[in-house]
Structure formats: C-alpha cells, structure tokens
Structure 1
C-alpha cells in the first residue's frame, strides 16, 4: 500500500473509532467523575427540555433527536449537570443561566405542546401488564406519544434486536416494518387504540405481540438510566 493510501486509511479508521466512541458516550451517559474529552467537543451543544410525570416536572438535555443527559427532577441538579457537561451555541454558560433555561422549558418546549408533555406515568407503567393479560385498548400507552418519542431518542444509534419468529410473523400480518421500530410502534398503538383498522388477516393479539416486543426492546435500550429512573425497569 502506498504512503498516501496508508495515511488515508489510518485517518479513516481514526474517525470511525472517534465516532463510535462519541456514540457510546452520548448513548450511555457522561462520567460524573473526571471530565471526559468529549465534554469539550461542540457536539455537546444542547438545550434543556422538560416533561411532567404524575404532576412532577423532570428535566433533561436534548439536541438533534438525541437525549443528552440523565432525567432529573431537581432543577438545580440539572443546571449544575448542564454547566459541567453541555454547551450552548455561543459556548459554555453557568449554572444560573442553565437554571433559567430549565424554568423556561416548562412553559415552552421546542418538541411538543404542554398538553403532550403532561403524562400519566403510573397509568403508562400499568398498561403493558394489562396488555399482556388480554389484548385490547390501552389508552394510557397510546396517549404517551411524546414520552415514546423521547425513549426512542434515548436509544442513540443502537439497533433493535431481531424479533422472535412469532413477532416477525405478527409484523408481516400487520404490515409493519421491522426496520422502522418507531413508526411500527406508533402504528401498532393506533390499532390497539382503535384509531386504525386491523389489516385483513391480522388480530389484536398480533398488535399486542408487536407492541409489547417493541416496548420491551425499547426499555432495554435506554441510555442514561432513564428506564430505572422512570421505574420501567429495576436497577441491575
């Protein structure tokens, strides 16, 4: 291999490894100890968003369809975390400025209306168990569409696993796409919510199987310990 080609190959490998390291960092969460090299990169530019769960406000960093922080119900802790790990476009700002942004996020979001950001978390957690017991309407699961979006955004670049054969068959009968987990999840919920008709040859059991498999996989792929914080999965 010629010297220029070797240099190009080494440079390519370096950038592939750098991108993989950044994706792992952004998906799984930043260290709370010694600041990471990636804390200094422009990719940490983000804002603060918020959701209300069972009457309590929670805050998190968010940018470009990526969750950028743990989910926190302490606004001062969120501001301190953002001051350490996140940046605004104009550069670093202090915790007091981040706190002001967090306060503003309750009234105005760049992602969703206030109505969509107020979520019945207790009902949401109970819905999958009810769906496992008997396929049928699951309004609490259907209505939490904004939280579904955030959970999908919190998987980073991780791929969903391959479904078992019975789920794959259910996807085929429902006309859902295995390579579009987010779209298939929403379509499955619309069927269970009664706003979309079942395709000919499909059943509510098919819809329940597809949605539950996607839900379980989604919870397993959560970064920043969101699944544990939300009580959707026990700590390991």
Structure 2
C-alpha cells in the first residue's frame, strides 16, 4: 500500500473489496471515474472527478483477479478509462448533460438505464404494490419480467403515446422512482434530474 495516499471518499455501503475495473463518464463537460464489478454488473464506488483520487480509492478498496495493486498500477487503468470502456462501444453513450436528463427519460435498453440498475439495484424480494401488479396484467407482462415491462413502457412513454396516469406511466414512475430512491453516494449528480423529469411529466 502506498504511503500518504490521496484523500478519497468512502466506498459505497457494502461494496468493499470487489474485483473491479475503472470506467468513466462525462457529465456537463466534467469527467467522472467509478469502479465497476463486471462479473456482478455492479457499480462499486462513488463518482470521482480527480484521477489521482480515483487511483488512491482503487488501491485501497478495489482488487484485480490477482489481488491488490498500488496507486501507480491503478493510475494507468484510470488513464485508460478516458478513452476505453468495457461497457459501451461509443464515447457518446457515456456523455451526459443535466438539461437533457431532465427533459427526457432514459432510453429502453440504453446505457443510462443500465448504469441506474448497476448502482441502485433491484430488490428481488420486493412486494409490488397492487396498482403496479394490475398494470402489469393489463399490459400482459409477468411480474417476474420487470425489465421487459419497463423497457416496453419507456418506449411508449418516450414516443408520447401514453397519457399521465396510464398503465405505462404507472410502471415507469414506480420502477424509476424506486431506483432513484436507492441511489448511494453522489450518484444523484447523474440521475437526480431524471427524478425531476418524472415529477414534472406525470
């Protein structure tokens, strides 16, 4: 372990010691780094905008398949995350702006929705409210397929084909609201505007 490591934020609750790599995204022109456990599809760190701090965080809290590494090792992975990603093929897919996020819901099957799930997670033990189950039935989706139902409803809502209070909006509001309410650390920087958009539109 390096002596006098750069100060870094605390890890996300319960997400310490993961075998993970480094990814990055750009929000409002500023690049942020984060740790990502590819085997679990799980984000394991806050958003960190300083490369040296990200390297220090990783050396303290992340692992590679061969164990721990020092800050110099992680600094190379942080630098590579600027131009490379194991999550998306196009840089444009990891560039976001707050104004756009507040005006449009995430795209079905899109990277933003994937990141939201990876940081917030879905509680498999959750008992769905009766109004949501009724919406699932009318839309002819099984409650065991929340991702498929959400993707369908997002498609309809984004196309302007669903009225406020419709089954599609019921599904979108519940699932996105549930995820947004579980955001750890400073991930509200990226997703907070989506919550505002949901409140404004339905």
User: Is the shorter-chain TM-score for this pair beyond 0.5, marking a shared fold?
Assistant: yes
Q: How many residues align?
A: 178
- Residue in 1 that maps onto 2:42: 66
Superposed displacement of residue 29, structure 1: 4.2
- Tell me which protein shows more helix as a share of its residues: 1
Question: Any residues of structure 2 matched to 1:29-178 within 5 Å, and which?
Answer: 29=14, 39=17, 44-63=18-37, 64=39, 65-113=41-89, 114-124=91-101, 126-127=102-103, 138=104, 140-142=105-107, 145-156=110-121, 158-159=123-124, 161-178=126-143
Superposed displacement of residue 177, structure 1: 3.5
Superposed displacement of residue 216, structure 1: 0.5
Superposed displacement of residue 144, structure 1: 8.8
**C-alpha RMSD of the superposition:** 2.8
* TM score, norm. by length of structure 1: 0.65
Q: Report if the CA contact (8 A) 2:59-2:68 is conserved.
A: yes
Q: Report if the CA contact (8 A) 1:27-1:156 is conserved.
A: no
Do residues 186 (structure 1) and 160 (structure 2) align? no
Superposed displacement of residue 70, structure 1: 1.4
- Identify the structure with bigger relative contact order (alpha carbons < 8 Å, sequence gap 6+): 2
The 3 A distance-change label for structure 1 pair 152 and 115 is: same
Structure 1: 5+ residue runs without aligned partners? 1-25, 31-37, 128-137
Superposed displacement of residue 97, structure 1: 2.1
- Residue in 2 that maps onto 1:211: 172
Superposed displacement of residue 78, structure 1: 1.1
Q: d(CA) in 2 for partners of 1:88 and 1:160? A: 31
* TM score, norm. by length of structure 2: 0.74
